[in-house]
């Protein structure tokens, strides 16, 4: 990992993903404030088991109210993703505002990619087991 200036031909990921996440947050806020129903989980209705994302909306609602423990217990993986997006958005806003160098990940060894993939699968399965055990 290293810090460097953005090249002229390079995609500005900080601006792109900051706009995408803020747009998604605005859309979600308008949806919930308008009183529209939250989407139903088709997987949960068909099988009776929660999917990996079940409880995500309730998790974000708890987090916005400041109930961090309630948010984490509702869906730990959604809580981690929400927290990660907030941290990335703060980083992107600071980098864009102050025109600072960008954090970039260099060449990873091949074993690192497989390790990350395995970790993601393990986290998804652990989160799903948590949701099933809690009856979310």
Strands (E), the chain: 2-4, 102-104
Write out pLDDT tens, residues 31-50.
888 988 888 889 999 999 99
CA distance 12 to 6: 7
> Stretch 98-106: mean pLDDT, rounded?
92
Q: If you average pLDDT over residues 53-79, what whole number do you get?
A: 92
pLDDT at position 25: 93
pLDDT value of position 130: 94
Average pLDDT over residues 120-132: 95
Question: Given this model, what pLDDT does residue 29 score?
Answer: 87
């Amino acid at each position: 990992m290293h810090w460097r200036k953005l090249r002229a031909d390079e995609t500005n990921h900080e601006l792109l993903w900051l706009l995408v996440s803020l747009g998604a947050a605005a859309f979600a806020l308008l949806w919930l404030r308008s009183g529209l129903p939250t989407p139903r989980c088709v997987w949960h209705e068909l099988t009776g088991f929660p999917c990996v994302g079940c409880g995500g909306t309730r998790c974000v609602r708890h987090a916005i109210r400041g109930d961090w423990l309630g948010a984490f217990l509702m869906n730990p993986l959604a809580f981690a993703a929400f927290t990660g997006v907030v941290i990335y958005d703060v980083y992107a806003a600071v980098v864009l505002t102050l025109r600072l160098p960008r954090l970039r990940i260099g060449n990873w060894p091949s074993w690192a990619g497989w390790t990350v993939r395995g970790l993601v699968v393990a986290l998804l399965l652990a989160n799903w087991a948590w949701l099933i055990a809690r009856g979310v």
